[in-house]
Amino acid sequence: MLPEYTWWGRGDRPPPPHLKTRRQLAALGLKPQRPVGVIRTRKFDCLLYDPDDPTSAVSKSKVRLGGLAAAEDGLNQRSRDDIERDRQTASEWAQQTLDNPAMTILDTETTGAKASEMVEIAIIDMAGMPLLNTLVQAQQRITPGAAAVHGLTAQDLVDAPTFPELYPTLAEVLGDRSILIYNVGFDVGVINYCCDKYDRPRLALEERSICLMRWYAQWYGNWSSKHGSYRWQALNGGHRALDDCHAALERLQTMAAGVPSLRSNENEN
């Protein structure tokens, strides 16, 4: 699993300064090979590379000469049998997770700012029963883009609890439970930001949260040779916190039901 970082100058885990994005590598005349870290956002993953490590980044001229072509294929190609084994592993993991009474599913909706406050949060158990489902009154303005996605406005939040008011309930509901999140980096980042902004202790989410989006990508089996990883699949929930929790649970149930045959167009280069 790749180490996860926040953007340089933001958050509490910025990447080492020598790591580079694809665009930064291109400016140095280098071509990416094997990522050594990732910055996750809700819309995309920004992979990071080490320009001093020849297995992570090489000069474009070497790639054109084909000097590392075999090594690149070894890193990025994956056989159909390998993919099928990965998918079966994901299905077995889903079966075990559904049977775990300490597991919850969490989702948030936000103001949409670069450092977003939550405007809604929901948590359900493995039976789909809501443990928490509430709007949250944020100090930040909801951006038009975020409002277009979840449909919430400042007027909707007038009677909702603020994050400091909600915090004791949130901490109690989570307790020491494990947490499933579809794109874990986004929601954990939102909750941590709110804890920091309102001077409340963080809830140790990194240590007990699992990214369902990654597991579903592995189960779905759409391997990208270009990126050397499984392609993320959109959740396609209702873009409200409770709806998205139930959509995530349905994904988990589908995974646990088994592994259908790969579709012919799933493995793209």
User: What mean pLDDT comes out for the span 16-35?
Assistant: 80
Neighbours of 262 (CB within 10 A): 16
User: What mean pLDDT comes out for the span 186-193?
Assistant: 94
pLDDT confidence of residue 45: 75
Which residues touch 145 (CB under 8 Å, ≥6 apart)? 112
pLDDT confidence of residue 61: 54
16 neighbors 5 (Cβ within 8 angstroms): no
Q: In whole angstroms, what is the distance from residue 19 CA to residue 35 CA?
A: 10
pLDDT tens column, 211-253: 999 999 999 999 988 888 899 999 988 889 999 999 999 999 9
pLDDT confidence of residue 42: 63
User: What mean pLDDT comes out for the span 63-81?
Assistant: 55
Q: Of the ranges 93-107, 169-183, 224-238, which one carries the lowest mean pLDDT score?
A: 224-238
Burial class (CB in 10 A: 0-12, 13-18, 19+), 140: middle
Of the candidates 175, 186, 176, the one whose C-alpha atom is nearest the C-alpha of residue 248 is: 186
pLDDT confidence of residue 22: 82
Q: In whole angstroms, what is the distance from residue 148 CA to residue 174 CA?
A: 29
pLDDT confidence of residue 54: 74
Q: Which two tokens stand for residue 162?
A: 């603020």
26 neighbors 63 (Cβ within 8 angstroms): no
pLDDT confidence of residue 166: 98
Residue 158 has pLDDT above 70, yes or no: yes
The alpha-carbon radius of gyration of the chain (Å, integer) is 20
- Name the phi and psi angles at 213, rounded to 5: -60, -40
User: Mapping DSSP to helix (H, G, I), strand (E, B) and coil, where does residue 213 land?
Assistant: helix
- pTM of the prediction? 0.71
Q: What counts of helices (H) and strands (E) characterise the chain? A: 10, 12
pLDDT confidence of residue 63: 43
208 neighbors 178 (Cβ within 8 angstroms): yes
Predicted confidence band at 65 (pLDDT cuts at 50, 70, 90)?
very low
Strands (E), the chain: 4-5, 30-32, 37-40, 45-48, 57-59, 103-110, 118-125, 130-135, 178-181, 209-211, 223-224, 229-230
Buried b (16+ CB within 10 A) or exposed e, 199-222: ebeebebeeebebbbbbbbbbbbb
Domain at 82-256, CATH class: alpha beta
User: What are the residue boundaries of the structural domains of the chain, listed by start?
Assistant: 4-76, 82-256
| pLDDT over 70, % of the chain | 88
Q: In whole angstroms, what is the distance from residue 112 CA to residue 101 CA?
A: 33
pLDDT confidence of residue 167: 98
Predicted confidence band at 44 (pLDDT cuts at 50, 70, 90)?
low
Predicted confidence band at 114 (pLDDT cuts at 50, 70, 90)?
confident
User: Mapping DSSP to helix (H, G, I), strand (E, B) and coil, where does residue 218 land?
Assistant: helix
Residue 97 has pLDDT above 90, yes or no: yes
